[in-house]
């Protein structure tokens, strides 16, 4: 094991590795042998500058104080960058969805959805942060079945009073990427997280992703095939940068009831419909969604 860890932390095992670095499982000997996860990230880019993704994650989590957002416990300089220390969470929502022997109960789906929306409401309303990569793999679950939003590498502060600020369209994982981003929008807001939350909720209900395209074009085709022609409810879509680059055949909207299992309730379908809408302005806010009849 070549990874540097201060004496405070006792290494147990490597539990993940990706483009942003390696994740280790360790024991915090200064805190009653609490099990933690240590995420090693590169502090600098290949051009010598500080990685904006690393800074965004640190800044976002330093100010977060919500039960449903992962807590940044500690950080220390690593040989190649920076190490961020978090509560250890044994599961992701992605791993729970893949566990066919233990499918999610209706109560768990409702509970996870409420936790996700509560965390998003806190981010959007209190911190003015949009996460920009809501998906099952970024939603962690602890041994007490508490869900927490994690991985803030793409998070950005937004100003609700500045409706003309431009952001990168290179955000969100394709299956959970909203249509405005797929059509190249650079002016958008926190409603991109609401689309992601709606698709996560739909995936919990169905057991499989709602839109699973292999390319951005196929992703848009799947959305259009399900939601119908976007101009019917969202005339502004024609002004998006990439709207005229490809034409899709006219499509009639499918009924949600035909897409979900027969035992899905009208309240569950109603919440999906309120979140998964073409027009970002028509999607509920996270705070509004928490008052939906599904939670009553």
User: CA 191 to CA 189: how far, in whole Å?
Assistant: 5
Residue 143 near residue 90 (C-beta atoms within 8 A): yes
162 is catalytic: no
CB count within 10 Å of CB 51 equals 18
Residue 227 near residue 282 (C-beta atoms within 8 A): no
Which strand (E) or helix (H) includes residue 119?
helix 106-121
109 phi/psi in degrees, rounded to 5:
-60, -45
Cα–chain center distance at 224: 22
Strand partners, 69: 149
- Give the annotated binding-site residues for ATP: 40
User: CA 188 to CA 209: how far, in whole Å?
Assistant: 24
User: CA 274 to CA 154: how far, in whole Å?
Assistant: 25
Which of 136, 145, 142 has its CA nearest to residue 88? 142
Which of 136, 149, 156, 190 has its CA nearest to residue 67? 149
Annotated active-site residue in 28, 133, 151, 193: 133
User: CA 119 to CA 132: how far, in whole Å?
Assistant: 14
Convert 148-172 to b/e letters by CB count within 10 Å (16 or more is b).
Answer: bbbbbbbbbebeeeeeeeebebebb
Which strand (E) or helix (H) includes residue 92?
strand 91-92
Active site residues: 133
């Amino acid at each position: 094991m070549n990874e540097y860890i201060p004496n405070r932390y006792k290494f147990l095992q490597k539990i993940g590795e990706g483009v942003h670095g390696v994740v280790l499982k360790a024991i915090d000997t200064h805190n009653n042998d609490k099990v933690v996860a240590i995420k090693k990230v590169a502090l600098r880019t290949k051009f010598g500058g500080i990685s904006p993704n690393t800074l965004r994650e640190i800044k976002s989590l330093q100010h977060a104080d919500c039960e449903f957002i992962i807590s940044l416990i500690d950080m220390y300089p690593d040989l190649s960058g920076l190490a961020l220390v978090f509560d250890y969470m044994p599961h992701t929502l992605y791993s729970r969805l893949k566990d066919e022997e233990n499918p999610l109960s209706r109560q768990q789906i409702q509970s996870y959805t409420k936790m996700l929306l509560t965390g998003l409401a806190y981010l959007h309303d209190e911190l003015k942060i949009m996460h920009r990569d809501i998906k099952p793999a970024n939603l962690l679950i602890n041994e007490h079945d508490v869900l927490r939003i994690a991985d803030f590498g793409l998070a950005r502060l937004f100003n609700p009073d500045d409706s003309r600020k431009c952001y990168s369209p290179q955000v969100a994982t394709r299956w959970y990427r909203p249509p405005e981003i797929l059509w190249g929008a650079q002016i958008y807001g926190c409603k991109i997280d609401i689309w992601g939350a709606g698709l996560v909720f739909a995936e919990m209900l169905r057991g499989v992703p709602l839109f699973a395209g292999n390319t951005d074009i196929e992703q848009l085709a799947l959305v259009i095939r399900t939601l119908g022609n976007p101009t019917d409810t969202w005339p502004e879509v024609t002004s998006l940068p990439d709207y005229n680059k490809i034409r899709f055949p006219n499509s009639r909207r499918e009924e949600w009831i035909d897409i979900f299992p027969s035992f899905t309730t009208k309240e569950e379908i109603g919440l999906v419909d309120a979140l998964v809408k073409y027009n970002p302005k028509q999607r509920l806010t996270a705070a509004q969604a928490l008052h939906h009849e599904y939670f009553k």
